[in-house]
Amino acid sequence: MISGAAKIAGVIGWPIAHSLSPRLHGFWLDHHGVDGAYIPMPVSPDHIEMAIAGLSKLGLRGANVTVPHKIAAFNAADELSPAARAIGAVNTLVCRDDGSIFGDNTDGYGFLANLKAGAPDWDPSSAPALVLGAGGAARGVIWSLIDAGVPRVMITNRTAEKAQVIADDMDGAITVIPWDDRSDTVVDAGLIVNTTSLGMTGKPALDVNLDHASPSTLVTDIVYAPLETPLLKDAAAHGCQVVDGLGMLLHQAVPGFEAWFGIRPEVTPELRAHVLAGLAT
Ligand code: ATR
């Protein structure tokens, strides 16, 4: 039940029906008894500029932004956070009282918070990280790793040019590795991250040989459907520590909820179970 004073936020995407974000934020709204709502907003690419401008005009608190609108949101924001500027995309919009729109990117924050929660002993400064993939998700991951003090990020992608663009765009020690050499690089990595869509339900597995990974190597995947991807299964069989990707989704939502509804929510086992149940349906 909401009142006339309810705070409203939501998620903009195209399509949006598959999004778990309404379920996620709905759990926190309910848990904290907030007079508010978080709604799915299907917006086609033709209408994205108008829709973002309309957020504050309609009196909404803001919105998350997902595929394919993160660059459009970056361009539409009146002011950007340092993370959004470095990553070159926006996933969280906050409407301010003066009518302006602040653009943030919490994907990197969510990625790192999930790693810290799942592998508290992992020391980012101990060894380079190997990042597989150079799509939109890779940029947030790489920014967060550099920010966390990883000495070097090795990035490899089927289309090498896309990896090179990221290395050129972003500050920090980033080395581009040929895709065919990815398995040889595993030996140097303290952390291995899959940011490709490989391993997702219905797609082929990511083909990387972990025979030379050390037991201290941490392996994580941004794919969370299935929760245990073939990569994570293989990594566990090789004795590596593994962290699944669902926590990234949960943690990236925290700063937005706090900005819109005024309460910093927690990522708890109950939240995780609630969102997982939505994944299964
Ligand atoms: P975005 O995140 O920009 O929308 P995407 O199309 O979802 O990108 O792809 C994400 C990543 O998965 C990319 O790094 C992509 O590699 P390319 O840049 O070469 O397209 C990677 N990817 C998808 N399918 C792949 C496959 N069959 N083999 C290797 N990499 C693949």
Please, what are the domains in the chain?
7-106+253-280 (3.40.50.10860), 108-247 (3.40.50.720)
Write down the pLDDT at residue 193. Answer: 98
| Peptide bond before residue 226 is cis, with ω within 30 degrees of 0 | yes
The pLDDT tens digits for 54-67 are 999 999 999 999 99
Report d(CA 248, CA 253) in Å as an integer: 9
Report d(CA 95, CA 56) in Å as an integer: 6
| Nearest-CA residue for atom 31 of ligand 1 | 196
Is the CB of 179 within 6 Å of ligand 1?
Answer: no
Provide the token pair at 133.
């993939």
Nearest CA among 19, 36, 87, 21 for reference residue 261: 36
- Confidence at 280, pLDDT banded by 50, 70, 90: confident
| Nearest-CA residue for atom 6 of ligand 1 | 135
| Peptide bond before residue 128 is cis, with ω within 30 degrees of 0 | no
- The CA–CA distances, whole Å, from 108 to 39, 60, 277 equal 23, 25, 25
State yes or no: pLDDT of 278 exceeds 80. yes
Task: Output the average pLDDT for the chain.
Answer: 97
Query: Is there a contact between 251 and 109 (Cβ–Cβ < 8 Å)?
Result: yes
- Provide the CA 3 distance to its chain's centre, in angstroms: 32
Provide the token pair at 86.
């470095």
The pLDDT tens digits for 116-172 are 999 999 999 999 999 999 999 999 999 999 999 999 999 999 999 999 999 999 999
- Confidence at 75, pLDDT banded by 50, 70, 90: very high
- Confidence at 96, pLDDT banded by 50, 70, 90: very high
Report d(CA 213, CA 57) in Å as an integer: 53
CB-count exposure of residue 14 (10 Å: 0-12, 13-18, 19+)? middle
- Percentages (nearest 5) of helix, strand, coil residues in the chain: 45, 20, 40
State yes or no: pLDDT of 281 exceeds 80. no
Site to substitute for ligand 1 among 141, 155, 196, 221, most atoms within 8 A of C-beta: 196
Q: What average pLDDT score do residues 214-235 get? A: 96
Q: Which residues are catalytic?
A: 70
**C-alpha 261 to ligand 1 mean position (Å):** 35
Q: What average pLDDT score do residues 229-257 get? A: 98
Residue type, 196: T
